[in-house]
Amino acid sequence: MNITVNTIAPTQAVVHVEGRLDAETADAFKFKTKEIAGTGAKYLTVDIGKLTFIDSSGLSAIISALKLLRQSGGSLNLACVGPQANTALRLTMLDKVLTKFDTVDEATKNLNP
C-alpha cells in the first residue's frame, strides 16, 4: 500500500491510497490518519480510486479514522470508489455511514471546514 497526502487547507487534506488496504496494511493507514489529524486536519477525503483490494480490516481502519475526526468535530468522506470497494461497503452496510463521491474535487467541496 502507498499513501500520499495533499493538504488543501489548514484543516482539510486528501489521503490517496494505492494498492491493498487489508489486515497487513490497515495499521499503517490508521497511523497515517492519526498523524494527519495530529497536524490539525479535521476533514479528510480518502481517495481510493487506485485501491486494488479492501477487506474488513481496511474498512475498520477507515471507520477508526472517521471516529477520530468526529471527536474533534470533523468528518471523512470517500472519493473514486471502485467496484470491489463499493461491494465491500454495500455488503457491510458502511455505504450508509460513509459518504461517497465520484471525484476528489466533489468530495473535498462537500466537506465543510
Per-10-residue mean pLDDT, the chain, length 113: 96 97 98 96 97 97 97 96 96 96 97 76
Give the residue ranges of DSSP H helices in the chain.
26-38, 56-71, 83-91, 104-109
pTM of the model: 0.95
Strands 2-9 and 12-21: antiparallel
Segment holding 50, helix H or strand E? strand 43-54
Question: Which residue ranges make up each domain of the chain?
Answer: 2-109
> pLDDT of 76-108, one tens digit each?
999 999 999 999 999 999 999 999 999 999 999
**Fold (topology level) of 2-109:** Transcription Regulator spoIIAA (3.30.750)
